[in-house]
Amino acid sequence: MTDAAQTQTDNHVLLTDLLQQVSRSFYLTLQVVPRAVRDQLGLAYLFARAADTIADTDLIDRSSRLQYLNQFKGQFARDLIDWEEVRGIQTALTPRQTDHAERRLLEQLEQCFRLYRELAPEDRERIRTLMSTLTKGMEMDLTLFPGDRLAALPTMADLDLYTYYVAGYVGEFWTAMVCAHLPSLAHWNQTEMARVGVRF
C-alpha cells in the first residue's frame, strides 16, 4: 500500500470507527449532514472530545491538566503543529485513560492533526476558532470550580459567557462551516443564523 493510500485509510478509520466509538449520537447525526462538511465537522468533534478528555483526566492534578490543555490549544493558535508537544500530551495522558475509546482517541491525536493540516486553510481557521473558544470554557472548569464541586458564577453575564464557550459557539461554528460549503444556503443571513445557532 502506498503512503497516500495508507493515509486515506487512516483518515477513514478516524472519521468512522473512532468517531463512532467516542461520539455515540453525534456519529448518527453526521450521517444526515451533507458530505461537503461531514469530514470537517467530524474532525472538529474529535478535537473537542480530545480537549475534554485532557481537561477531565482526574488522575492528573488540575495544574498539569491545564498545562496540557494549553499545549493542545496552542497547536491551533499558531496553525503550526509542534509534533513533540502533541506526542508529549499523548505520552503523559494516554496511559491514564480508563475509557477504551478515549485512550484510542489520544493514541490517534497525531493522525488527527495530520488530517487537520490537509484541510483547506479556511476550514482550518474555522476549527482553530472553535478550539480556541471551547477550551476557554474548559479552562474555566479547571480554574473556577474547586475540586469536584460546582460553584455559582458571580453574574448572569458570566454564566452566559461560560455557556457560550462550552456550547453556544458550536452553533456559530456549524453555521459558518455549512454556509461556506453549501451553495443552497447562499441566501441565508449568516449573522442572524449564527445568532440563532448560539442560542440554540
pLDDT for 13 equals 86
pTM recorded for the entire structure: 0.93
Q: Per-residue pLDDT for the chain (200 aa), expressed as one digit of tens each? A: 566 656 677 788 889 999 999 997 899 999 999 999 999 999 999 999 999 999 988 888 899 999 999 999 999 988 789 999 999 999 999 999 999 999 999 999 999 999 999 999 999 999 999 999 999 999 998 988 766 677 788 899 999 999 999 999 999 999 999 999 999 999 999 999 999 999 98
Question: What span, in angstroms and rounded, lies between the C-alpha atoms of 134 and 168?
Answer: 9
Listing DSSP states for the chain in one string gives --HHHHHHHHHHHIIIIIHHHHHTHHHHHHTTS-HHHHHHHHHHHHHHHHHHHHHH-TTS-HHHHHHHHHHHHHHHHSSS--HHHHHHHHHHHGGG--SHHHHHHHHTHHHHHHHHHHS-HHHHHHHHHHHHHHHHHHHHHHHHS-TT-----SSHHHHHHHHIIIIIHHHHHHHHHHHHH-GGGTTS-HHHHHHHHHH-
pLDDT for 198 equals 95
Tell me the CA distances in angstroms from 154 to 15, 137, 140, 157, one per residue in order.
40, 15, 13, 8
pLDDT for 11 equals 84
pLDDT for 24 equals 79
With 0-12 / 13-18 / 19 or more C-beta atoms within 10 angstroms meaning exposed / middle / buried, residue 173 is buried
